[in-house]
């Protein structure tokens, strides 16, 4: 694919000789790009700065008219007192988020790794259908299926349980995990596997001792992407988890909005606690994330 495109490009580039323009204009202005970069960064961080700064204000100050940009007095103790706010049982919500995300991610990993490995290493009838089926689940999001999921879990009696949300999160994040691991497994030369087999290693052993260490970067990417998606899931939790204690942070946060004197300083404190660890995780796989996603989707 790369070769054909560059050929077309060559042809197009050579045929298109039109209006020349001086190439070097911004030579002396070294500060221009970093300055523009700073503006871009500021725009993207602005809401989170508002969040961070707001989390240190007193309740009276965060509702003050007109508002203050910076707290007149920084109140770090918000981060201790917010857990007992009456709107929602926040400690439970944090535990819910943690349990659902960790278990959901583990389940995805346990289920997706063998499938990704086998489809990358073996050709069999129905392989294409299987991979397409997995890709198709990307189109069916929990938002679309919410009424169906709600009815189903109600019928089998696991509505309003973590188990239901673990299953939902696992099912709807399978697609990305399978595809990115599939592309990593495909990248491993056959000879390595064959050498291990010749040495008498079984399939499972080859997978564990030889292949897994090589595809570790792909697995880490899949883990983090899945974890972040589970951590932030909202729509299905909203309809399936009906009691406050079971709800994750993403649902709990909405309890604050629309009230007359919302405890915004607590909303923001909780948000910071919910966002910072995930941003750090996400930043770790920044480079591989998109490459994996494009590879998976283009194939």
259-288: which residues touch other proteins (CB under 8 A)? 262, 264, 267-268, 271, 274-275, 278-279, 281-283, 286
* Residues 59-88 within binding reach of other proteins (CB under 8 A): 62-67, 69
- How many residues touch other proteins under the rule CB under 8 A: the total is 116
135 binds other proteins (CB under 8 A): no
Choose the stretch contacting other proteins; rule: CB under 8 A; options: 78-86, 88-96, 209-217, 247-255. Answer: 247-255
- Smaller CB separation from other proteins, 134 or 196: 134
DSSP-derived secondary structure for 76-126: TTHHHHGGG-TTS-HHHHHHHHHHHHHHHHHHHHHHHHHHHHHHHH---TT
CB 176 within 8 A of CB 214: no
| 289 closest CA partner among 225, 228, 227 | 225
163 binds other proteins (CB under 8 A): no
Using CB under 8 A, pick the residue from 126, 157, 189, 213 that binds other proteins.
126
CB 173 within 8 A of CB 179: no
48 binds other proteins (CB under 8 A): yes
- Smaller CB separation from other proteins, 45 or 195: 45
Burial 4-19 (b: 16+ CB within 10 A, else e): eeeeeeeeeeeeeeee
CB 179 within 8 A of CB 135: yes
Q: How many CB atoms lie within 10 A of CB 55?
A: 25
From the CB of 290, what's the least distance to other proteins, in Å?
4
CB 267 within 8 A of CB 253: yes
From the CB of 216, what's the least distance to other proteins, in Å?
20
Q: Which two tokens stand for residue 275?
A: 């966002």
CB 240 within 8 A of CB 152: no
From the CB of 65, what's the least distance to other proteins, in Å?
5
Choose the stretch contacting other proteins; rule: CB under 8 A; options: 71-79, 114-122, 193-201, 212-220. Answer: 114-122
| 117 closest CA partner among 54, 73, 179, 38 | 179
From the CB of 213, what's the least distance to other proteins, in Å?
19
185 binds other proteins (CB under 8 A): no
- Smaller CB separation from other proteins, 191 or 286: 286
Q: Which two tokens stand for residue 286?
A: 């920044």
186 binds other proteins (CB under 8 A): no
* Residues 190-219 within binding reach of other proteins (CB under 8 A): none
Using CB under 8 A, pick the residue from 72, 73, 122, 243 that binds other proteins.
122
C-alpha distance from residue 41 to each of 111, 112, 281 (Å): 38, 36, 19
CB 164 within 8 A of CB 104: no
Using CB under 8 A, pick the residue from 50, 75, 95, 102 that binds other proteins.
50
Using CB under 8 A, pick the residue from 74, 84, 98, 133 that binds other proteins.
133
From the CB of 125, what's the least distance to other proteins, in Å?
4
* Residues 20-39 within binding reach of other proteins (CB under 8 A): 20-21, 23, 33-34, 36-38
Phi then psi for residue 188, to 5 deg, are -85, 125
187 binds other proteins (CB under 8 A): no
Using CB under 8 A, pick the residue from 81, 130, 212, 220 that binds other proteins.
130
């Amino acid at each position: 694919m790369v070769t054909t495109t560059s050929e077309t490009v060559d042809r197009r580039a050579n045929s298109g000789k039109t209006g020349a323009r001086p190439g070097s204009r911004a030579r002396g202005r070294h500060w221009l790009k970093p300055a523009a970069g700073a503006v871009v960064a500021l725009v993207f961080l602005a809401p989170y700065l508002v969040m961070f700064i707001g989390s240190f204000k007193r309740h009276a100050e965060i509702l003050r008219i007109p508002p203050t940009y910076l707290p007149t007095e920084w109140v770090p103790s918000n981060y201790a007192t917010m857990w007992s706010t009456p709107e929602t049982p926040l400690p439970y919500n944090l535990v819910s988020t943690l349990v659902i995300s960790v278990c959901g991610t583990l389940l995805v990993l346990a289920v997706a790794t063998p499938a990704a490995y086998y489809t990358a290493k073996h050709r069999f009838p129905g392989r294409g259908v299987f991979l397409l089926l997995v890709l198709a689940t990307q189109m069916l999001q929990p938002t679309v299926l919410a009424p169906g999921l709600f009815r189903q879990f109600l019928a089998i009696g696991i509505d309003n349980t973590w188990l239901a949300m673990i299953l939902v999160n696992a099912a709807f994040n399978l697609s990305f995990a399978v595809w990115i691991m599939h592309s990593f497994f495909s990248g491993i030369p056959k000879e390595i596997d064959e050498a291990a087999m010749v040495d008498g290693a079984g399939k499972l052993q080859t997978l564990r001792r030889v292949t897994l260490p090589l595809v570790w970067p792909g697995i880490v990417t899949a883990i983090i992407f899945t974890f972040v998606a589970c951590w932030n899931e909202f729509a299905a939790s909203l309809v399936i988890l009906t009691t406050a204690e079971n709800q994750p942070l993403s649902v709990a946060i909405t309890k604050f909005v629309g009230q007359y004197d919302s405890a915004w300083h607590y909303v923001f404190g909780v948000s910071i606690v919910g966002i910072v660890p995930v941003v750090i995780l996400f930043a770790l796989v920044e480079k591989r994330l998109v490459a994996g996603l494009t590879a998976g989707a283009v194939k």
